[in-house]
Each structure stands twice: as structure tokens, then as C-alpha cells.
Amino acid sequence: MGVKRTLNLGIALVGVILILYGCLGLLNSGEWFLGLSLILRIFEGCGNAAFLTASFSAIAQKFPTNVASMFALIELFFGIGEIVGPVFGGALYEIGGFTLPFAVMGSLLFTSSIFIFFFLPDTPSETLGPKPSMLSALTKPAIVIALFKVGSAAASIGFLQTTLEPHLHDIKPYGVPLTPFQCGALFMVVGGTYGLSLPLWGMVCDSKLTRDSPKYVELFGSVLIAMGFMVLGPFKYLPFGKTLGSIIAGMSIHGLGLGASVVGGFTDVHKSAIRCGFPDTIETYGLVSGLFASVFAFGAFVGPTVGGILYDAITFRWAIMFIVGLEVVAFILIFTFLLMDCRNPTPVLDRSISTISETDEVGLFRYLAIFLKT
């Protein structure tokens, strides 16, 4: 369909779905409300995936030498929206009830899709030969490792969305439990540190210090996320207990690591695809952007699902080891890849996807064998 049509369709669909959400407030049946909400949520997810994939692809094409910095800028505004949205939505709810916030936001999004239709230039297809395949991408160690890091980072934020509020129930800084507003404000700590750190991670990923700059950023992100969760617990053998100060510190460290993981992962997936011989075209950008969005969404599903189960079974202090374990695995994979890459550097490939031989398709299994041997 092309970048423009996909972006336009995705935003328009989400806008219409939000308006329909507002209409659900007119229903008196709880069963109908829940059922229609789930159906609308499915279509909203499809629209969201469409415009995310298209926007990421456009970034990679329009700013090939500054992919990380531009992606960081987009994510910065996403973080601002995460902070402003609840305040703006709450104010609209006070003015017009359940329907007004959805009607306003849906109308804004649908209007923006009209703006895109008339003013955004189209991006024609550039591939003359066979298009890159998802199967081929998933056999490249560099791409798979970057996607795993993105998934583990998404799982970490999803984990907190489910388990943080009950973890805070016994914290009473002023002699009374934290209010729902105060608990929600703690998530602004993650959003704040995440947003403020994004330009830094973007500049590091785009730097020419080493061609593996994104992977070094991901490596640092793994350490920070693991440290943040150890402080949030806190880990049994740390010399301090759970306090409001330790929670804020842990959330801040986690926000820094999340920024490093997301920006580093997005940049790494794109750069690794080109290095592995994929054509430097919009088709490749769309493929890897779709993989990035899918893996992030899957991590955001696994995090709260597994986190909620572990919280009920073994408490927050031990449930955090699930996220810590994922980050340890990511660290080992990235470190091993960097070690092997330093020993056996490979030149940047200029060939198209059609020239990749069958021996490259088993590169992942060869890498795993060397990793196990190491």
C-alpha cells in the first residue's frame, strides 16, 4: 500500500474507533459494553500497528544517517503525550462525562489523517527484485538479538503496569497510604527519565565511534533495567528496605534503561538488516519496523501476564527476577555477539536480498553453536 496510505489508514481507523468508544457510554448493558469494547480494541490495535509501522519506516527512509536521533524525537513526543493525555482526558471527563474525551481525541486523529492525505508526499516502492522476507530477517543473529532486547524492555514496563500499584499499598510516607493519583504520578518518573534520556541515546546510536554503537547502548540498557528492578524490589540482599525514595530511584533507573533499550533496539534492527545484505529500500524499512512493533507489543503482553501470575504466587520481591533474568540473557547475547564481531569483523554488504545464499539462512544456528561453545 505504501507508507502514506498505511499511515493514513491507521490514524483514520484509530480516530473512528475512539469516537465509537465514546458512543459506548450511552449503553446501559454491562455485557454489551464489555463485548463491544473488546471488539473495538482489536480494530484499534490494527490501526495502531499500521501507523506505527509506517511512521517508523518513513523515519528510516527520510533520515538514513540520523535514524536513532529522529526516532528518539518521535518517542520524546510519545512520552509527552503519556503525561499530558491523562490530565487532558481527565479535564474533558469532568466537563462532558465519558463521551467527550473520546470524541475530541478521535476527531483530532481523524482530522490529522485528512491533513496527511493532502500534504504528506507519497513514497514509491524501490525494490526491483524480490522483496525481503520476514523469515530471512529472523535467521540473522544481529536482528534476532536486537528484537529480543526490545521485547524484554517492553515486558519490563508491562510488568510494572500490573504489579507496581499493589506493591505500593504498604508505603505510607505521611502516615496514610498513597492515593491513586500519587501512584499514577510515579509512572511519570519513568516517563520523565525515559523522555529526557532519549536525545542522549539517539546521539550515541548515531555516533561514528563504532559501527556497533546501538548494541553498546542496548547493553547499557540491560544493566540499567536490571538495576532498576533490583532497587524497586528491593532485592533481598540489598542494604535498604522499600521506601518511597527507593521506589522513585528504581523507577528513574528503569526509565533510563528503557530509553536505551528502545532507541538502541530500533536503530540496531534497521542497521543490522542493511549490514546483513538487505536492500536499503522502503520495503526493508517496513519489514523491520513491523518486526519491531510486533515484538514490542508481544513483550508488552508477556510482561503484565507473567508478572501478575508471579506477583500472586511469590510476591513482588521475587517476581522481579523474571525481568532481571530476561535482561541477563539479553546482556549475555549482546556481549557474546560484540565479542565475536570484534574477533571476526565482517564488511558492510551492498548486495540485495536476492543474492543472499542458503548458507546465510543458517547463520543463526551457526551463531548459536559458537555461542554454546564459548
110-137 pLDDT, tens digit each: 999 888 888 877 766 555 556 777 888 8
Q: Containing H/E element for 239?
A: none
Looking at residue 373, what is its pLDDT? 55
Pick from 106, 108, 109: which is nearest to 19 by CA?
A: 106
More confident residue, 359 or 111: 111
CB atoms within 10 A of CB 31: 8
C-alpha cell at 218: 542496548
Using 50, 70 and 90 to split pLDDT, how confident is the model at 180? low
DSSP track, 246-267: HHHHHHHHHHHHHHHHHHHHHH
Q: Span 158-174, mean pLDDT?
A: 82
Long-range contacts of 366-374 (CB under 8 A, 24+ apart): 367/141, 367/337, 367/340, 368/141, 370/340, 371/333, 371/336, 374/336, 374/339, 374/340
The yes-or-no verdict on residue 365 having pLDDT over 50 is no
Looking at residue 223, what is its pLDDT? 96
C-alpha cell at 16: 473512528
φ, ψ for residue 190 (rounded to 5)?
-65, -45
Single-letter amino acid code for the residue at 36: L
Q: Tell the burial category of 276 from Cβ atoms under 10 Å away from its Cβ (0-12, 13-18, 19+).
A: buried
Contacts of 322 (CB under 8 A, 6+ apart): 159, 306, 307, 310
Region class of 175: left (phi > 0), else alpha (psi between -120 and 50), else beta: left
Whose grid coordinates read 503525561?
83
Q: Span 275-286, mean pLDDT?
A: 82
Single-letter amino acid code for the residue at 334: I
Prior bond of 234 cis (ω within 30°): yes
Looking at residue 128, what is its pLDDT? 52
Taking the C-alpha atoms of residue 367 and residue 364, their distance in angstroms, rounded to an integer, is: 5
C-alpha cell at 182: 500519587
C-alpha cell at 243: 521506601
Looking at residue 130, what is its pLDDT? 64
Taking the C-alpha atoms of residue 55 and residue 70, their distance in angstroms, rounded to an integer, is: 11
Is 29 in a helix, a strand, or coil? coil
Taking the C-alpha atoms of residue 3 and residue 93, their distance in angstroms, rounded to an integer, is: 35
By percentage, how much of the chain surpasses pLDDT 90? Answer: 32
Using 50, 70 and 90 to split pLDDT, how confident is the model at 361? very low
Taking the C-alpha atoms of residue 260 and residue 221, their distance in angstroms, rounded to an integer, is: 5
The answer to whether the beta carbons of residues 337 and 145 sit under 8 Å apart is yes
Long-range contacts of 23-30 (CB under 8 A, 24+ apart): 23/99, 25/97, 25/98, 25/99, 25/102, 26/99
Tens digit of each residue's pLDDT (9 = 90 or more) over 193-238: 888 888 889 888 888 777 788 999 999 999 999 999 999 988 888 8
Q: How far is CA 241 from its chain centroid?
A: 30
